[in-house]
Amino acid sequence: MSTLDRLKQLTTVVADTGDFNAMRAHAPRDATTNPTLIVKAVSKPEYRPLLEQTVSAYPRESPADLCDRLLVRFGREILAIIPGRVSTEVDARLSFDAQATVAKARRLIELYAAEGIARERVLIKVAATWEGIHAAERLEADGIRCNLTLLFAFPQAVACADAGVTLVSPFVGRIYDWYRKRDGVDYAGDDDPGVRSVRRIYDYFKKFGYETEVMGASFRNTGQILALAGCDLLTISPELLDELSRSDAAVPRKLDAEAARQMHVDRVRFDEKHFRFDLNQDAMATEKLAEGIRAFVADAAKLEEMVSAARRP
C-alpha cells in the first residue's frame, strides 16, 4: 500500500485543485476549489473550452454572473469524477457583508440545481469573518452546507462550530509560513504551529461533541499531512498527493476522537465583541485573514477579466 492509501484508511482525502486529471489519478472523495485554483485551471489549454463555452452560452450576463456560472461548471465536472462533495467559494469581496454572502450562496445553489446537482453535494465556501460565520449560520438553517475557509485562529473555529456549520478549513501551511518567517525556524511535526492549531480545534470539537468537521488545508509538505493523520478530512494539492502516492511509509494515527473526549478542556463562547478582540490579539491570524481575503479578491477580479476578454470578438 502507498502512504496515500494508508492515509485514506484514517482520514477522508480531499483534492485541493481544479485539475480534473489529478482527481482521476488520486481518487479523492471530495474536492475543494477557490478563485486561485480556477484561474490556474482556465489558464491551461485543456480547460479553456469551459470558459469559452460558458461565455458564449450567456452573452448578455455580467462578468460577475458568468464567473458564478463558470465556478458551477467546474463543480459539475468535478462531481462527475468524485463520489462526494465539491466546495465552491463565495466572492471574497463579500467577506464583510452577511446579507450579500447569503444571497450569493443561494444563487450558486440555484445554479447547481439547474445543472441537476443536489445541494447535499455542494459545500459553499465562506471566509471565517464574523459576518461570514453568521451568514453560514443562516445558510445552514436553510439546508445549505458550508465550508468556512481562511481559518487561522481558535475563536474562528469555535464560533463556526457554535453556528452549526458543516465544515471548517484551518490553514496549516499559512500559519506555518507566518511563524517560520517570524522565528526563523523550520518547524516540523508536533512542533509545527499550523499542525498544533488543527489539533487543538479537532480535540475541542470532539471533546464537546460538535458535528462540525475539521479539514486541515494549505499544506507545505507531507510531514504536516502525516502529523494530522486521523483528522476528519485533509485537503491536499496534486503535488503532495503525488508524493504520498509514491511513498510506502507507515501512517500512524495522530488524532483520535476518543482520546480527545477524555481530555480536560474548558468550554468557551465568543460573542461579537470577544470574537473581534481575541482575533485582533492574534497577530498571525489577523494578518493572514486579511492577506487571504485580499488574495482571493484579486483572483476573483482576475477571473472576471478573463471572462471579459473571452467575450470580446
Which of 125, 206, 254, 288 is catalytic? The answer is 125
141 has a pLDDT exceeding 70:
yes
Phi, psi for residue 16 in degrees, rounded to 5: -100, 75
State the DSSP H helix or E strand holding residue 146, giving kind and residue range, or none if neither: strand 146-151
Q: State mean pLDDT over 226-230.
A: 98
Model confidence pLDDT, tens digit, residues 31-75: 998 888 889 998 999 999 999 999 999 999 999 999 999 999 999
User: What per-residue confidence (pLDDT) applies to 37?
Assistant: 87
* Neighbour-count burial of 256, counting CB atoms closer than 10 A to its CB (0-12 exposed, 13-18 middle, 19+ buried): middle
Closest CA to 146 of 155, 154, 137: 137
Angle (nearest 5°) at CA 127 between 18 and 30:
35
291 has a pLDDT exceeding 80:
yes
How do the domains of the chain map onto residue ranges?
3-311
For 27, which DSSP code?
Answer: -
Q: Is 302 a catalytic residue?
A: no
Q: Which fold has domain 3-311?
A: TIM Barrel (3.20.20)
pTM of the model: 0.95
Residues 225/240, Cβ–Cβ less than 8 Å: yes
User: What per-residue confidence (pLDDT) applies to 286?
Assistant: 98
Spatial separation of the C-alpha atoms in residues 307 and 52, rounded to whole Å: 8
Contacts of 84 (CB under 8 A, 6+ apart): 12, 28, 29, 30, 31, 121
The C-alpha cell 483520535 sits at: 256
Spatial separation of the C-alpha atoms in residues 25 and 4, rounded to whole Å: 12
